[in-house]
Amino acid sequence: MATKVLAGVTVEVNEEGFLVNPADWTKEIAAELAKEEGIAELTEAHWKVIDFSRQSAGTSGAAPTLRGITSGSGVSTKELFSLFPKGPAKKVAKIAGLGKPEGCV
Amino acid sequence: MKKIVILGAGTAGTMAANHLTRLMDLDEWQITIVDEDPIHYYQAGYIFVPFGKANPNRLMKQKKNYLPSKVRALQQKVELIQPENNKVILADKTILDYDFLVIATGCDIYPEETPGLAEHEWGKSIHSFYTLKTAVALEEKMRNFQGGRIVVNVVENPIKCPVAPMEFLMLADSYFTQKGIRDRVELIYATPNSGAFTKPVASKLIGDMLDRKNINVEADFYIDRADPDAKKIISYDERELEYDLLVSVPLNKGSDVIGKSGLGDDLNYVAVNKSTFLSDNFDNIFVLGDAANAPTSKAGAVAHYATEMFVENFKHYIEGKPLEEKFDGHTNCFIESGYGKGVLLDFNYEQEPLPGRFPVPGIGPFALLQESRLNHIGKLSFEWMYWNILMHGRKVPLAPTMSMAGKWTDWEKRFNIA
Ligand SMILES: Cc1cc2nc3c(=O)[nH]c(=O)nc-3n(C[C@H](O)[C@H](O)[C@H](O)COP(=O)(O)OP(=O)(O)OC[C@H]3O[C@@H](n4cnc5c(N)ncnc54)[C@H](O)[C@@H]3O)c2cc1C
């Protein structure tokens, strides 16, 4: 497993740059991961989604689906796409330090 | 008498019923299984139906022929589960008490959840193949197709058998080539994923498989709605894709009864421990197969490994011992790639698919992550194994957990990839 320095901390990441241990996550790491995904600054609206996703993952570390995010956080799908362009579910999962959403081969 | 109630007599429920009948002392335990539909469908065969390569009748069997006679089988819809009271209520108002509940109600398609899909063009220019009925309707459409653009769209993940949409496209490529009209057919795969294959090694080795077959991928495409009159689908970021034939893999969701009983997440999947399939919230409920929220592929192969693991565990669990056997997310799936060939993937929660040989290291006969004729034959013979071995609760000589033996971690060297 590869390691990487994010916000001054050495953390384990998988081949696609997702954190291996959700417990390693900090807000500073989130900001750096967001930059990797082309999001220069995390606004309050971004945080609402990230906080919800961390909460919903709980101890399992499983990232919520797109539907899970919209129904749980109250942010509409359209809005999600403007906050996290292209693949919001995957981007949110990565920035929130969670595993890649299921269903991908 | 202590009672085990199994909900759903599909892939997982049927296997669980057979294994448990053999394992439990039936003087002490009563096993009941409930399903509303008398027919057991071989869903992995649906993919061949639109191409006229599988007789629909062959894919349907009577459920009762695969259930042990010592199990009480009820043909009823499950209306409600009351996990706090250990009760299940059926449509005819029968109340079943249980000591242990096994939920195996699977998942199904919900085209009505996407505006425009299941409206006046459903069954005309908009089709699916995720149920036997839709696959049969699509066969006629494909037979009469004279040319134009076919878009295969996955509405949202997770879906049953995540590779099936790609298999459909590759089989379509070979189907229209054989008909001599491939040059008049455009094939497009619109997926919410970031590409056809997203795991690094697989995308490196077989990522260009669709390209080579001239199948275009529209990645990161999350459908918002279909416009059935203008014949186009529109994504949330306002990308539009026109089609002559839309083959939709509609939203997959768990059974409604899961949601109604307060046991499900937003897609009606039950929260479980991904290694033991024990419900997160009730210590006498196990959830097997597609009904669980475990981050596995929703596939019969997974249901099979998971059920064998569950049965081993259950024996100890009822004696008050811990759940020792751990499921590692082991999945293998055959991908039909057209022209009588296929690719085999073998992976688990931690390990992405790698090339190599399976199940015997170095020998195979199946080739992992490479196209071969034998892989296609493997897929076809799985149907026989399904009905004659798995559904009778007999064991196949394959370990339920994944093995690294036979996998080529040095694949880059072997294939001369820098
Ligand atoms: C097109 C397609 C291709 C596939 N290809 C493959 C493949 O190549 N390889 C592979 O391994 N897997 C494949 N699969 C997936 C595989 O078929 C499923 O993962 C597997 O059948 C899941 O088993 P299950 O027991 O969880 O659910 P199912 O077998 O679907 O059984 C669920 C049962 O529950 C019953 N039920 C649900 N709700 C209720 C209720 N309220 N009351 C009473 N009964 C109820 C249903 O009637 C059904 O019989 C494919 C699936 C599809 C659709």
**What's the pLDDT score for residue B110?**
98
**What's the pLDDT score for residue B88?**
98
Please give the number of the atom of ligand 1 that sits closest to the Cα of B291.
Answer: 26
Q: Which of A71, A103, A104 minimizes the C-alpha distance to B252?
A: A103
B237–A86 C-beta distance less than 8 A? yes
Asked if the structure places residue A105 within a domain, the reply is no
CA distance B107 to B267: 9
Encode pLDDT of B218-274 as tens digits.
Answer: 998 999 999 999 999 999 988 999 999 999 999 999 999 999 999 998 899 999 999
Q: Is A78 a catalytic residue?
A: no
Binding site membership of B294 for ligand 1 (Cβ less than 6 Å): no
Task: Assess whether pLDDT exceeds 80 at residue A59.
Answer: no
Nearest CA to ligand 1 atom 44: B35
Binding site membership of B274 for ligand 1 (Cβ less than 6 Å): no
Closest-CA residue in chain B for A20?
B350
CA distance B209 to B296: 24
**What's the pLDDT score for residue B45?**
97
**What's the pLDDT score for residue B120?**
98
Contact B139, B51 (CB under 8 A): yes
Asked if the structure places residue A32 within a domain, the reply is yes
**What's the pLDDT score for residue A102?**
59
CA distance B55 to B172: 18
Binding site membership of B229 for ligand 1 (Cβ less than 6 Å): no
Task: Exactly one of A1, A5, A104, A105 is catalytic; name it.
Answer: A104
**What's the pLDDT score for residue B308?**
92
Q: Which of B147, B135, B213 minimizes the C-alpha distance to B174?
A: B213
**CATH 3.50.50.60 segments of chain B:** 2-106+255-317, 110-251
Which residues from chain B sit within 8 angstroms of residue A85, using beta carbons?
237
Nearest CA to ligand 1 atom 49: B10
Task: Assess whether pLDDT exceeds 80 at residue A100.
Answer: no
Mutate to test the pocket of ligand 1, among B42, B136, B160 (most ligand atoms within 8 A of CB): B160
- Cβ neighbours for B319, distance < 8 A, ≥ 6 positions apart: none
Q: Which of B377, B364, B371 minimizes the C-alpha distance to B407?
A: B364
ipTM over 0.90: no
Q: Considering its fold, how many domains does chain A have in total?
A: 1
Q: Beta strands of B8-134 (E only): which ranges? A: 29-35, 39-41, 60-62, 72-75, 78-82, 87-90, 95-97, 100-103, 107-109, 126-127
CB-defined contacts A:B, below 8 A: 70
Q: Which domain holds residue A17?
A: 2-95
What residues does B286 pair with on adjacent strands?
A: B102, B278
Please give the number of the atom of ligand 1 that sits closest to the Cα of B333.
Answer: 9
Architecture of domain B110-251: 3-Layer(bba) Sandwich (3.50)
B267–A104 C-beta distance less than 8 A? no
Q: How far is B236 from chain A (nearest CA, A)?
A: 6
Mutate to test the interface with A, among B163, B205, B220 (most CBs of A within 10 A): B220
User: Which of A68, A71, A77 comes nearest B236 by C-beta?
Assistant: A77
Mutate to test the pocket of ligand 1, among B161, B258, B347 (most ligand atoms within 8 A of CB): B161
Q: Which of B206, B180, B207, B175 minimizes the C-alpha distance to B338?
A: B175
Which residues from chain B sit within 8 angstroms of residue A62, using beta carbons?
293, 295
Give this prediction's pTM: 0.92
Asked if the structure places residue A103 within a domain, the reply is no
User: Which range, A17-31, A89-103, B173-187, B299-313, has the best average confidence (pLDDT)?
Assistant: B173-187
**What's the pLDDT score for residue A1?**
67
**What's the pLDDT score for residue A48?**
96
A66–B156 C-beta distance less than 8 A? yes
- Does B195 reach chain A within 8 Å, measured CB to CB? no
**What's the pLDDT score for residue B206?**
84
Please give the number of the atom of ligand 1 that sits closest to the Cα of B37.
Answer: 47
**Averaged in consecutive runs of 10 residues, what is the pLDDT profile of chain B (418 residues)?**
98 98 96 98 98 97 98 98 98 98 98 97 98 98 98 94 95 98 98 85 86 94 96 94 98 97 94 95 97 92 93 93 89 92 91 91 90 92 93 86 89 79
CATH superfamily of B2-106+255-317: FAD/NAD(P)-binding domain (3.50.50.60)
CA distance A17 to B71: 49
Please give the number of the atom of ligand 1 that sits closest to the Cα of B47.
Answer: 1
Q: How far is B401 from chain A (nearest CA, A)?
A: 18
